Structure 1
Amino acid sequence: MSSNPEQMKIQAKMAKGQDMKDEDKLFRYKGVLYPTIMCPLENLKAMEHLEARHDDVMLVAYPKSGFNWMTAVVRKIMAVSTGGEVRWGHPHIEFFDPEAQQLLSQAPSPRCMGTHMRPENMPPSFAAKKTKMLVVVRNPKDTAVSFYHFCKNIPVLPTPESWDTFYTQYMSGDVPWGSYFDHALAWEKCIDDPNVMIVTYEEMKEDLSKGVQQISQFFGFPLSKEQIQTIAEDSTFSSMKENSQVSHGILASSIFRKGEVGDWKNHFSEAQSRMMDAEFEKRLAGTKLGAKLKYDLYCK
């Protein structure tokens, strides 16, 4: 058993998940499914009154789109730029119970936080305070595969019967945090907001140094070329996976699985692939975010 209080809390939640029936593991709030153990109703209700600050650093991603990876990158940028320490832990605001949210209100600035939520379900104070938000989006096919494996390994979420079952649920939005396409489209509407920066998982994989430089500039954390290079080298998927036992404890292997682009080809049937192509065409093609995702390159 880990002696880290944060890890002990997580272990207790995982144990609770093992004793809970799959049908009780999710509940619907404002039309979206959430994990009962990780973000119970009291968390979501308290969160509506969470007070954002102008200098908060907010990270947003749909589940399994590179959230933990980018959290580590952003925290390293902040630590190097401010000379502070890199604080690990899980910054999802929806995981904070009312008491933790109270403590968050006393935390010194700049606070680093994150969420899997859509803009309309976030505390309204973030828009009011013009808090800067970094949104990470990953291609829908790899996201689906990564999400499927995650649900298979994490006892707080229902275990999918099979890949085919999960695929059907993913396409209908009956998965934690709802539909991938609804999430992407909700953030697409914010693409021209100067306080929102949207990056893709794939572009970060392709050129991490460039990504680190753009993110540090966006949040106003000055870094030298050498610092950017060092952060990029320390933040590759393989180096993060190597240190994941320390940073993420028992969740390490579930969070850092493959980190590949194109793993969907090992799971999707021809029909599933065509169905996803049609959905993308209908929902995201022709949007700025759709173009940014380079769907034909990564999903065909």
Structure 2
Amino acid sequence: MEKSRKKFADIIDKAMVTANAMNRDELLFSYKGILYPVTFCSPEVFRAMESLEVRSDDIILAGYPKSGTNWVGQILSDLVAIFEKKTQNKESSVNDEELEEFPYLEIGDTGKYERMNKLPSPRVIFTHLLPENLPKSIFKNKAKILLLIRNPKDVATSFYHFSNGMSPLPSYETWDDFFIAFMTKKMPWGCYFEYLSEWNKYADDENVMTITYEELKKNPVLGVENIAAFLGISLTEKELQSVVERSSFQSMKKNAQKTHGAFGNVLFRKEVTG
């Protein structure tokens, strides 16, 4: 996964440079009542995204910002690599092709979704979006959805430090200023509590698996086993340990500059709960 994140790092680095020259009140725009960073998203991209035809064997990782999507995304990408090697007797095409398309569905250019149609299955797609703002084909075709949730106190704390370290997001002079924004629906990607409420409507669907950041951190071996079982991927003990080790905080932080560019220094700040 590390070698394939050049496009990821390039987009992040470019967004940070652009945002450095912008005023704070220029950093966010509103689309359908929700705020998004202008250096990552655009109304044109959101409209183009509606045309994406999601496949039944796609894997969707849904999580609010700072819930652990980059961490769990590493796990999913490794599991898909193992699946492809087992079923097609070849090294994963994910590393060479899929992750060269920015993995977050809502970030990119208007031509992204046409390019995605040419990518091989299974595709791993990340998103911070509410379910009603996703392409309808995700639910029509019953793509596998891994719903990741995290303790809101930890989400808020992590988001506060993240915002103050990422130029594309508004910074806050004090925790109180941030907390008011967090509790009054003024955050990029919307309100965390509304996010949980809307996604909870799909939690019992057979193609949806809910996992918490806390349970995965407490027992990553069991967590990876459960995710693999949900995806229908059988693992040897060696493969299981490899996935767990590659997705560890220490391993991902070590490769952060290469995989995430300047974003990595802010992203992998701590790995704590509570």
- Tell me the TM-score normalized by structure 1: 0.83
| Matched residue, 2:72 | 70
Residues 1:47 and 2:59 are matched in the alignment: no
The CA distance in 1 between the partners of 2:224 and 2:23, in whole Å, is: 42
Residues 1:95 and 2:107 are matched in the alignment: yes
State how 1:13-24 maps to structure 2 within 5 Å.
13-24=15-26
2:245 is aligned, of 233, 242, 267, to 233
State how 1:1-300 maps to structure 2 within 5 Å.
4-83=6-85, 84-85=91-92, 87=95, 88=99, 90-262=102-274
SS, match of residue 146 in structure 2: strand
Tell which has more relative contact order, 1 or 2 (C-alpha 8 A, sep 6+).
Answer: 2
The CA distance in 2 between the partners of 1:32 and 1:260, in whole Å, is: 29
The CA distance in 2 between the partners of 1:40 and 1:13, in whole Å, is: 13
Q: Write out per-residue CA displacement over residues 193-225 of structure 1, whole angstroms, 9 at most, x where no aligned residue.
A: 011111000000001011111111111222123
The Cα of 1:43 is off from its aligned counterpart by 0.8
The CA distance in 2 between the partners of 1:5 and 1:230, in whole Å, is: 25
| Matched residue, 2:88 | none
Q: Write out per-residue CA displacement over residues 163-182 of structure 1, whole angstroms, 9 at most, x where no aligned residue.
A: 11011100112100111100
The CA distance in 2 between the partners of 1:5 and 1:203, in whole Å, is: 31
The percentage of counterpart residues that share the same residue type is 40
Q: Write out per-residue CA displacement over residues 65-116 of structure 1, whole angstroms, 9 at most, x where no aligned residue.
A: 0010000011011112212345256411100211122111111111111100
| Matched residue, 1:266 | none
The CA distance in 2 between the partners of 1:71 and 1:6, in whole Å, is: 13
| Letter aligned with residue 37 of structure 2 | P
SS, match of residue 121 in structure 2: coil
Two-structure CA RMSD over aligned residues (Å): 1.5
| Matched residue, 1:295 | none
Kept in 1, the 8 Å contact 2:9–2:263? The answer is no
Kept in 1, the 8 Å contact 2:29–2:35? The answer is yes
SS, match of residue 95 in structure 1: coil
Distance 1:166 1:5, change over 3 A: same
Structure richer in helix, relative to its length: 1
Structure 2: tracts of 5 or more residues without a match: 86-90
Q: Write out per-residue CA displacement over residues 273-296 of structure 1, whole angstroms, 9 at most, x where no aligned residue.
A: xxxxxxxxxxxxxxxxxxxxxxxx
Kept in 1, the 8 Å contact 2:8–2:260? The answer is no
The Cα of 1:6 is off from its aligned counterpart by 4.4
The CA distance in 1 between the partners of 2:179 and 2:110, in whole Å, is: 34
The CA distance in 1 between the partners of 2:265 and 2:198, in whole Å, is: 30
Kept in 1, the 8 Å contact 2:13–2:262? The answer is yes
| Letter aligned with residue 36 of structure 1 | V
The CA distance in 1 between the partners of 2:205 and 2:126, in whole Å, is: 18
The Cα of 1:118 is off from its aligned counterpart by 1.1
